Amino acid sequence: MSKPLPLLTAPAPERRDAARNREALLRAAAELIEGCDVRAVTMEAVAAKAGVGKGTVFRRFGSREGLMAALLNHSETAWQASVLSGPPPLGPGAPPMERLIAFGESRMRTHLQQGALIEAAGRTWGDNYAVIGFATMHLRYLLRELGVSGDLTYLATALLAPLSLPVLQQQLGFDGMSEERVLAGWQDLVDRIVGS
């Protein structure tokens, strides 16, 4: 790979007490989400669980959407690290085609598992170009490794689009497709792009 792939940026350095509050709030939000529907998690509940005032939550994250986006940022950073240095086939060490298929399956499952959280983050997360940029660059790298020619940026975007949450919701919910069928369709698309 000629250029390193950009991970989501870590939060700017902060005072020790601010860092403690941030971690406590993220931990409290994650624990609340594990125990109930994401839509039921309020800023007041997060503040109470973390033992801080509600104003602290708003100052730190700006809004409920900002808090949900911060939770997603944390899990996305871990996911990106697994792509860059985790075990194969998602991480390095497997042939590029195996990595490409593992990427698609992992991305789909991640989006489905975090669907409610992604929706709760709204535009705050939906406009996160670092996430799209990382995935596109990684797919371009794998396509290049596979000897695919053409506009690799466009092809990588075409492979990424079916893995987005709105498309997955359409296929699984409205179209009644199974996850296995969605993955088989995505692999067929990969085969056609790589074969061409």
For the residues 102-119, what does the mean pLDDT come to? 94
Decide: 143 and 131 in contact? Cβ < 8 Å.
Answer: no
What local confidence, expressed as pLDDT, does residue 11 receive?
Answer: 53
Rounded-to-integer distance, Cα 69 and Cα 148, Å: 34
Decide: 57 and 67 in contact? Cβ < 8 Å.
Answer: yes
Lowest mean pLDDT of 8-12, 96-100, 103-107, name the range.
Answer: 8-12
For the residues 30-41, what does the mean pLDDT come to? 87
Q: Is the pLDDT of residue 99 over 80?
A: yes
Report domain extents, the chain: 11-62, 64-195
Q: Is the pLDDT of residue 149 over 90?
A: yes
Decide: 183 and 105 in contact? Cβ < 8 Å.
Answer: yes
What local confidence, expressed as pLDDT, does residue 9 receive?
Answer: 52
For the residues 161-181, what does the mean pLDDT come to? 95
Q: Is the pLDDT of residue 127 over 60?
A: no
For the residues 100-123, what does the mean pLDDT come to? 92
Rounded-to-integer distance, Cα 60 and Cα 66, Å: 9
Question: What is the CB-side half-sphere exposure of residue 57 using CA atoms within 13 A?
Answer: 26
Which of 15-24, 57-66, 168-177 has the largest mean confidence? 168-177
Domain 11-62 has CATH 1.10.10: yes
Read off the pLDDT band of 1 (50, 70, 90): very low
Helix, strand, coil percentages in the chain from 3-state DSSP, rounded to 5: 75, 0, 25
With a CB cutoff of 8 Å and minimum separation 6, the contacts of 85 are 91, 92
Comparing 26 with 17, which gets the higher pLDDT?
26
Comparing 52 with 15, which gets the higher pLDDT?
52
- Count of CB atoms within 10 A of residue 182's CB? 21
What local confidence, expressed as pLDDT, does residue 192 receive?
Answer: 96
Amino acid found at 101: I
Rounded-to-integer distance, Cα 180 and Cα 28, Å: 34
Q: Is the pLDDT of residue 2 over 50?
A: no
Question: What is the CB-side half-sphere exposure of residue 80 using CA atoms within 13 A?
Answer: 22
What local confidence, expressed as pLDDT, does residue 90 receive?
Answer: 97
Q: What percent of the chain has pLDDT over 90?
A: 63
What local confidence, expressed as pLDDT, does residue 125 receive?
Answer: 73
For the residues 105-131, what does the mean pLDDT come to? 85
